[in-house]
Amino acid sequence: MQTPAVWVICPAFNEAATIANVVADLRRRRYDVVVVDDGSVDGTRHIAAKIATAVITHPVNLGQGAALKTGIDYALSHDAEILVTFDADGQHRADDIPRLVRALTEQRADFALGSRRIGHSCNIPFVRRVFLFAATLFTVATTGLCLTDTHNGLRAFTRQGAVALSLRQNRMAHASEILADIANSGLRYLEVPVTVDYTPYSLAKGQRASDFVMILLDLFARKLHR
Amino acid sequence: MIAQAIFSLLLSSVLIYAWAEYRRSPVVALMSLVASLVGLYFVWIPSHTTRVAEFIGIGRGADLIMYLWICISLIVLLNLHLKLRSQHEVITALARAIALANADSATEGARLRNTEHETAKPAIPLARDASYKEPISMVRTPRPPPYSARRSYRSK
């Protein structure tokens, strides 16, 4: 079987410090990379434009969920067969992607979700660990999916899987929304162990525990309003 | 009598609002419907407010009305929040359309400069090989439409 066309989607907001390494790493492994610059003001798009397959620039900052959706739309319109979401802050490893892709092609899943709980995390702080555990409990309770890590930015979808995602949550609640859509689609999903590197940089850019309140509000609003 | 007429008018407009809102957000509509009906009832039979207030443990009928008013305000706030959300979705769709429309022209030059990273596979996958078979997981349901609408403005 010919290798499927893999497109890696990198949502980036003010990631000038890391984007070059992240994208170059992915390009070395011969993936098509679409960087979605979510209205950065630090020149992320110019750095990315030198090495990425495509750079899409949001005219205003819309949030990570919106950036993912834009990237997915773009990759689908360029005949991507497998779509990978990959954080631009350098916390993921490009080496993990082949395992996700294999989960889709060999085990015939439509969603392969990275998990740091069955994989490894380096330097994960205690507060972050508690927060992630609470988020996992919440998601398992609301979607019924059997997962060990619900807020991992490294995921892979088939075309069919990507089309099933609605991604209407622009901000951070999209992680829970993706899982809700996976549950509703009834398609096959798998968890794949991946490594997440916690650096001071990725921690500063990442979510704070207080964002959890806003995420709950967003999800509640979505239930009220369709 | 004047106050009753004014308040009836106001509360009736809330009723109409609830009716108009029902299609968009049934939960909010039902809540405002109940609130305005209760309001109308108390406007015309004010003595019942004191009885109800005493029954549920609030001293005076006027206090009860004030609490209800606060509730209604909160409902309106919630509804405004939902409206803002849906407006933001429109903005998102608009910004995305602009971003995607600009994407191809902006990255064409980058792709030319990109030769040291070019690999055996073309940057944009070309027509699919005839020998390629779809993985079984992809043929369970028909393929999604090929985004031909988007492609149309790209090819120009």
* Angstrom distance (rounded) from CA A15 to CA A19: 6
Q: Which residue has the tokens 């999209």?
A: A174
Which residues are registered as beta bridge partners of A85?
A: A9, A155
pLDDT at residue B124, rounded to an integer: 45
Residue A75 pLDDT greater than 60, yes or no: yes
* ipTM reported for the complex surpasses 0.85: no
Task: Provide, rounded to the nearest whole percent, the portion of chain A with pLDDT above 90.
Answer: 42
CB B108 within 8 A of CB A54: no
The least confident of A40-54, A73-87, B24-38 is B24-38
pLDDT digits (tens, 9 = 90+) for B11-54: 999 889 888 888 877 887 888 888 889 888 888 888 888 888 88
Which member of B135, B146, B154 has the closest CB to residue A105? B135
Segment B53-80 mean pLDDT? 84
Q: What is the pTM of this model?
A: 0.69
pLDDT, averaged across chain B = 73
Give residue B82's pLDDT. 85
- Residue of A80 and A170 predicted with greater confidence: A80
Q: Is residue A85 within 8 Å of residue A155, measured between CB atoms? A: yes
Q: How far is A120 from chain B (nearest CA, A)?
A: 29
Write the residue in A62, A76, A104 that is nearest to B92 by C-beta. Answer: A62
CB contact under 8 A, A224 and B96: no
Taking contacts as CB-CB distances below 8 angstroms, the residues of chain B near A55 are: 103, 106-107, 110
Out of A80, A188, A225, closest to residue B86 by CB: A225
pLDDT given for residue A68 in this prediction: 94
Q: Indicate if the pLDDT at residue A48 is higher than 80.
A: yes
Look at residue B90 and tell me whether its pLDDT is greater than 50: yes
Please indicate whether, in this complex, the C-beta atoms of B96 and A225 are within 8 angstroms of each other.
Answer: no
Q: Which helix (H) or strand (E) holds A70?
A: helix A64-77
- Average pLDDT, whole number, for chain A? 85
Within 8 A of A53 by CB-CB distance, chain B residues are: 107, 111, 114, 123-124
CA distances from A11 to A14, A19, A129, A145, A154 (A): 10, 10, 23, 25, 11
Are A224 and B78 in contact (CB < 8 Å)? yes
Range name among A152-161, A217-226, B46-55 with the lowest pLDDT average: A217-226
Closest to A160 (Cβ–Cβ): which among B117, B119, B138? Answer: B138
pLDDT confidence tier of residue A87, bands split at 50, 70 and 90: very high
Q: Which residues from A are below 8 Å from B102, CB to CB? A: 56-57
- Residue of chain B minimizing CA distance to A51: B114
**Cα separations in angstroms, A158 against A13, A103, A109:** 25, 11, 8
